[in-house]
Amino acid sequence: MYLSLGNKKDIVSFKKALFNGLAPDKSLYYPIEVQKLSEDFWKDLQKMDNFSLALAVMKGYINEEIPEESLLDIIKKTLDFKFPTVLVDENIYSLELFHGPTLAFKDVGAKFMSACMDYFIRNENLNKKITVIVATSGDTGGAVANGFLGIDGVDVVILYPKGKVSEIQELQLTTLGSNVSALEVDGYFDKCQEMVKKTFVDKDLSEKLLTSANSINIARWLPQMLYYFIAYRDLNRRNSNLVVSVPSGNFGNLCAGMLAKKMGLPINHFVASTNENDTVPKFMKTGTYEKQKTISTITNAMDVGDPSNFVRILSLYNNNFNELKKELTAYKFSDEETILGIRELYHKSKYLLDPHGATAFLGLKKYLFNNPETTGLFLETAHPVKFLDTVENALNINIDIPQHILELKKKEKSKIQIREYKQLKSFLLSR
């Protein structure tokens, strides 16, 4: 069961939280109880494959609303690609999360959410069309579009900030057609996200079945725990102090990792690595949360001045700032520092980083400098080809482009340009 963080008397099922996206008061849903994993789970972890591991982690959050056999099928559709941990420097590993269909970590949450929704639509004969609406700073939109493409009874509407996504990201958003529509917003990601939230409390849209596919949706957020468990199993570092650095924008990914720790996963410490949008690094110094105006950077997926999921992190620690500080450190890095990070690891190990992974690498290195007796893991959240110009210019090399991305370049973009919420509203009412 899930409660609204704004009204803890508002308690709903997994299915209700999935289809609602947000609570009626615009707050995020949050599990009533953090599921603790059994001693048998930890004893058997090294023998588990990805599917049995994921089933054990996730089933407590579904509360038998999806039968175990069907949930296992959903998990198999979700985790149908690899999650390798790669040694890139002394005692530093990269967790590669870009081997899915859209070359980004968000494939996990998008595939899980779309498969859950498809299950309920097919098995409960929902006879009204559902509109999945999503704001993206780059990778979320492509992953969601791919996950929901062609699912009967579902329309997908993607809002993305004009000129703030990479060329390949935009192609992934705007070339699918079918049940996917792309709206290019004149503004930053925060504006897109605020528009999405506004649709859920707009009485004129109340007859529409709207849900969000951002990480504000519990079905997008929760399954991101899984690759933390997979990496821990694969590293087999039971007696080491494991530190994990996460490139952080809307803070859903990091929040999922911290939830995994609360479930018992023995991660010693987390590092939130941000760009110049340093709302959380400032908070971790002062204890005062002040949202900021968004700044454009080369790590566009982290260009978020008011990260939605940070309220969930605070809830994990009962809003106790001192307890949170024991387990989270946050750093910011400039574009120039990020470029140097890409160059450093390439020249040292011939390992290619995308700008977001480079930020996480820098955050991990900075933390390990004062904490050397640890194993470090950073999340490489997107394939470098998604930020082709930045990486190639940083290293003065040419990167091989996967064939399916070359095919994308041949397609024509289809998008609708909007500036204001009323244009989004008009579009949704016309569907």
Active-site amino acid positions: 106
Question: Which of 249, 199, 277 has the alpha carbon at shortest distance from 379?
Answer: 249
Q: In terms of C-beta distances under 8 Å and separation of at least 24 residues, what long-range contacts does 74-77 make, across chains too?
A: 74/112, 74/115, 74/116, 74/119, 75/51, 75/112, 76/51, 77/111, 77/115
Instruction: Tell me the torsion sign for CA atoms 250, 253, 258, 263.
Output: positive
239's CB contacts (< 8 A; 6+ apart) are none
Region of residue 134 (left: phi > 0; alpha: psi -120 to 50; beta: else): beta
CA distances to 47, 53, 56, 225 from 40, in Å: 11, 12, 11, 19
DSSP string, 11-59: EE-HHHHHHHSS-TTSPPEEESSPPPPPHHHHHHGGG--HHHHHHHHHH
Q: Is 358 helix (H, G, I), strand (E, B) or coil?
A: helix
How many of the other CB atoms lie within 10 Å of CB of 220? 30
